[in-house]
Structure formats: C-alpha cells, structure tokens
C-alpha cells in the first residue's frame, strides 16, 4: 500500500467518523430537545429556586447549589471553590428538564473532573459519549445510568 493509498483510507475513515459523530450528536439533541418543549417553563428566579429544590430532593442531593436565573439563553452547571455548585438557566431552554439535566451532571460527579490540557481529547470523548448521554437519559427518562 502506498502512502497515498493509506492517506486515502485515513481520509475516508475520518469522513465516516465525522458523519457518524454528527448523526450521534444530532440524535442526542433531538432526544432531549423534544420533551423539553413540554416541560414546565421557568419564568423567574423564584420559579428556578423552587424547581431546583424539588429536583434536587428527587435525587436526595445534599450539595449546596445556587440557582441563577438569566434573561439570555444559558444552561450550565459549575463547581465553585469551596465545594459549592452553581446552576445557570435562562432563555429559550429555561425548563424543568434543563434543571434536571444540569443537576444530574452535579449528582453524578461529572464536575469533579476538570478539563486539563494534557488529556483534553480523552476528556472530550468522555463528555460526549458518557457524561452527556447520562445527563440526557436522566433528563428524559429519569433513569440513573
Ligand atoms: Zn449536559
């Protein structure tokens, strides 16, 4: 096999990998996007405080979590210094299911593994193929994987 042929195989492989990866991400997005439309809407900080409380109770969570409501689109969970957590929710995706998703990331320990430069690629794979599907499956089906 000439180097050119090998490079053709690699290029072809990368192409199929990216098509597969793109399809996979699209499926995940649809899986958690559709039920979100039917989930309870969050319109204020008071709504968010109540829903975070209710959903954290369902997971029997004892961690200290500060919910922050925003008027722009954001969905994130952050680990703060001192072992506290923060959930940011706002805009289009401000729904109970988004809270469930972010809480599950915290509950399952996903925020305990920081993104380090040295293992960025493995960390990305771990996030895409393990942590994100786990959070989505809990968000949609309440199954704890
Ligand atoms: Zn997520």
The rounded Å distance from CA 132 to ligand 1 centre is 5
Give the count of domains, the chain. 1
Total-model pTM:
0.79
Q: Tally Cβ neighbours within 10 Å of residue 109.
A: 9
Q: Which of the pair, 15 or 144, is modelled with greater confidence?
A: 144
Q: Is the pLDDT of residue 97 over 90?
A: yes
Residue 52 to residue 65: CA distance in whole angstroms? 8
CA distance between the termini of the chain: 44
The rounded Å distance from CA 9 to ligand 1 centre is 34
The rounded Å distance from CA 8 to ligand 1 centre is 35
Question: Which class for 18: exposed (0-12), middle (13-18), buried (19 or more C-beta within 10 A)?
Answer: exposed
The rounded Å distance from CA 37 to ligand 1 centre is 17
The rounded Å distance from CA 106 to ligand 1 centre is 10
Average pLDDT over residues 48-66: 96
Average pLDDT over residues 18-43: 81
Q: At what angle do helices 96-107 and 45-58 cross, to 10 degrees?
A: 50
- C-alpha distance from residue 24 to each of 1, 29, 30, 32, 66 (Å): 32, 9, 10, 13, 32
Q: Are 79 and 112 in contact (CB under 8 A)?
A: yes
Strands 74-79, 85-90: pairing is antiparallel
The rounded Å distance from CA 108 to ligand 1 centre is 11
Q: How confident is the model at residue 48 (pLDDT cuts 50, 70, 90)?
A: very high
The rounded Å distance from CA 122 to ligand 1 centre is 17
The rounded Å distance from CA 47 to ligand 1 centre is 21
Give me the helices (H) in the chain, please: 3-37, 45-58, 96-107, 120-126, 132-141
Range of the domain at 84: 3-141
The rounded Å distance from CA 44 to ligand 1 centre is 22
Average pLDDT over residues 135-145: 89
Summary mean pLDDT of the chain = 87
Q: Which stretch of 23-37, 53-67, 80-94, 98-112 has the lowest confidence by average pLDDT?
A: 23-37
pLDDT of residue 81: 85
Q: How confident is the model at residue 114 (pLDDT cuts 50, 70, 90)?
A: low
């Amino acid at each position: 096999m000439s180097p050119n042929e090998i490079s053709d195989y690699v290029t072809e492989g990368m192409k199929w990998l990216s098509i597969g990866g793109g399809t996979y991400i699209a499926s995940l997005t649809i899986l958690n996007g559709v039920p979100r439309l039917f989930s309870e809407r969050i319109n204020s900080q008071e709504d968010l405080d109540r829903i975070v409380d209710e959903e954290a109770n369902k997971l029997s969570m004892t961690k200290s979590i500060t919910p922050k409501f925003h008027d722009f689109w954001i969905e994130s969970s952050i680990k703060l210094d001192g072992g506290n957590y923060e959930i940011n929710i706002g805009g289009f995706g401000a729904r109970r299911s988004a809270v469930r998703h972010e809480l599950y990331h915290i509950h399952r320990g996903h925020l305990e593994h920081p993104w380090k430069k040295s293992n960025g690629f493995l960390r990305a794979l771990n996030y895409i193929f393990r942590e994100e599907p786990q959070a989505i499956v809990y968000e949609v089906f309440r199954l704890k994987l």
